[in-house]
A and B are shown apart, each in its own frame.
Chain A
């Protein structure tokens, strides 16, 4: 058992993919940074020194503590300082990343499911349905993604009853960002599907009497997943930035569930009074997260699909 596992591991280690990974310092560093941040977010309830959303643990006297210095009233020391309410900035960042990453991953998953499905249909079935899908995609591409996301957010907000708006905000955000990013998936999958569908293995499957849906899912889909993975990674970086931007503008995550963007929005108010740490550290975290995911995406693109360059 251990042997088989070791074998799998050593085969994976020797694959082209891992070879390229080991040869690319940028990829290694990005991977470590991204993994650390993601782990920090996932394990936030365990590693955060305070729970910033439990008012019982907050002490207003701790407000505006300077990073690495003992608070003048309570003597407590906070690595990254505290905000006006005495919340530990390090902890709020960890919990904020949870929201940012959750929205990012969920939005990409949604965009990917929608885009791949529509792309497969447009590429394999074609006809007027395919033409319609691609026309919608073209029209949507005329507008910047962030604008589309804002608009969908605004419309969806109008649909939600007022007392549920804060609770629903996260889900609305996911749908808005997801809907603004499906086009890239659909276009690439459609292109790849049109190439694949004329290959012999698809014709053989068709002769075997497989249904169209079966062919699309079992035969074509696995063969177009490479570029989809690349786009998913780059979309994740875009989605994280989009979420941060929307939340910063006040049309995203509610104050009860602050994401990194919300934290930056809150911190902006303290910039003029000299409490720089409240805005600086969330900003750096957001940058590190977006940049590392982006660089990983660039590397993946080079390895998996040089044609996409």
Chain B
């Protein structure tokens, strides 16, 4: 176990180093920082002085090391577009994205598990079949079209919910939350559904197929033979045994939710890091792009690492023949 954990952690570390190299190269090769900082009237001496001051005269590995040192401390320089430190811009927008991602994930798990159990129990009922067909269509719809559709229905036609923004926020000092105001909660509904829908269908299909698999087994038949009620058989016996893969997939999908938040945030003009990233791409704001890349990589890699380790700890069968880190 320990050896596996160390090897896996080491691999994650290497991945982060590589991503860091990509982010660093973006700084280095896309545009010239000296050009960005000095005006038209510059002399060779100015350039040389700034070069030394910025440490650009150092060899590549030294520069890379300095970049990593800064990155670990959350220092990514100044946004070209906003003229403020990137860390400040990002930390001010991160709560919005995390709240959106969290609510989406919770919705996806609750509805995904509930619908999965339902469609497994009523396997051939019309309601279950309808849900399965709808989920197929839902998977093929691009996220942004789902968002537009919801906006059209609930904001334009019915006028029940706002179509953009985050509503009123409450400042808790270090965290600005929209979860405590009515308008904040209302504004959250449509983006959260849009973002969570894909993961919901994924969890639903997974729960359904796992349930069908489990319900076929002998201990379920035995539980029925003992005269247990349906509810007890389905939830106490069957559902419990489907939860390991569900937890894993949900964990893995957390990263995807944060990444796909870029699309949802743009559709709903949600003031999170995803929208920030898209605007950074459009205006080639390299420091913001690099910082977002590092941020999301750390999230992805640590989520994957935790899920892998958890999986390994929960399911003893995997310990025998699993090669480290292979998916």
- Look across to chain A and name the residue whose beta carbon is closest to the beta carbon of B163: A272
Q: Give the contact stretch, choosing among B101-109, B137-145, B212-220.
A: B137-145
A271 and B151 in contact, given A251-B281, A251-B282 (Cβ under 8 angstroms)? yes
Q: Which residues of B contact A291 (CB under 8 A)?
A: 140
Q: Which residues of B contact A264 (CB under 8 A)?
A: 144-145, 148
Smallest CB separation, B45 vs chain A (Å): 28
Bound complex: CA A157 to CA B282 (Å): 8
On whether the beta carbons of A155 and B26 are closer than 8 Å, the reply is yes
A150 and B262 in contact, given A286-B145, A287-B145 (Cβ under 8 angstroms)? yes
By the criterion of a CB under 8 Å from any partner CB, how many residues of chain A are at the interface?
35
Q: Which residues of A contact B142 (CB under 8 A)?
A: 241, 244-245, 286, 290
Smallest CB separation, B154 vs chain A (Å): 12
- Look across to chain A and name the residue whose beta carbon is closest to the beta carbon of B297: A143
**Is A151 interfacial (CB 8 A cutoff)?**
yes
On whether the beta carbons of B144 and A248 are closer than 8 Å, the reply is yes
On whether the beta carbons of A142 and B301 are closer than 8 Å, the reply is yes
CB contact between A157 and one of B143, B284, B296, B300 (< 8 Å): that residue:
B284
Instruction: Give the total number of A-B pairs whose CB atoms are below 8 A apart.
Output: 93
**Is A138 interfacial (CB 8 A cutoff)?**
yes
Chain B binding surface SS class: helix
**Is A77 interfacial (CB 8 A cutoff)?**
no
**Is B33 interfacial (CB 8 A cutoff)?**
no
Q: Which residues of A contact B9 (CB under 8 A)?
A: none
On whether the beta carbons of A245 and B143 are closer than 8 Å, the reply is yes
CB contact between B260 and one of A146, A157, A271 (< 8 Å): that residue:
A146
- Look across to chain A and name the residue whose beta carbon is closest to the beta carbon of B286: A158
Tell me which of B19, B142, B143, B260 has the highest count of chain A C-beta atoms within 10 A of its own C-beta: B142
Q: Which residues of A contact B140 (CB under 8 A)?
A: 287, 290-291, 294
Bound complex: CA A160 to CA B141 (Å): 33
Q: Which residues of B contact A276 (CB under 8 A)?
A: 152
Chain A binding surface SS class: helix
CB contact between A144 and one of B26, B259, B266 (< 8 Å): that residue:
B259
On whether the beta carbons of A245 and B300 are closer than 8 Å, the reply is no
On whether the beta carbons of B296 and A147 are closer than 8 Å, the reply is yes
Bound complex: CA A291 to CA B139 (Å): 10
On whether the beta carbons of B327 and A141 are closer than 8 Å, the reply is yes
**Is A41 interfacial (CB 8 A cutoff)?**
no
Smallest CB separation, A255 vs chain B (Å): 13
**Is B289 interfacial (CB 8 A cutoff)?**
yes
Q: Which residues of A contact B148 (CB under 8 A)?
A: 264, 268, 271, 279, 283
Smallest CB separation, A186 vs chain B (Å): 14
Smallest CB separation, B325 vs chain A (Å): 8
Bound complex: CA A287 to CA B141 (Å): 7
**Is B293 interfacial (CB 8 A cutoff)?**
yes
**Is A45 interfacial (CB 8 A cutoff)?**
no
Residues 261 to 298 of chain B near chain A (Cβ within 8 Å): 262-263, 266, 277-278, 280-282, 284, 286, 289, 293, 296-297
Q: Which residues of A contact B244 (CB under 8 A)?
A: none
27 contacts between A and B (CB under 8 A): A138-B325, A143-B259, A143-B296, A143-B300, A144-B256, A146-B263, A147-B259, A151-B289, A154-B284, A155-B26, A155-B289, A157-B281, A157-B284, A158-B26, A248-B266, A249-B262, A249-B278, A250-B266, A250-B278, A271-B152, A272-B156, A283-B145, A286-B142, A286-B145, A287-B145, A290-B140, A294-B140
Interfacial residues, chain A to chain B (CB-CB below 8 A): 138-139, 141-144, 146-147, 150-151, 153-155, 157-159, 241, 244-245, 248-251, 264, 268, 271-272, 276, 279, 283, 286-287, 290-291, 294
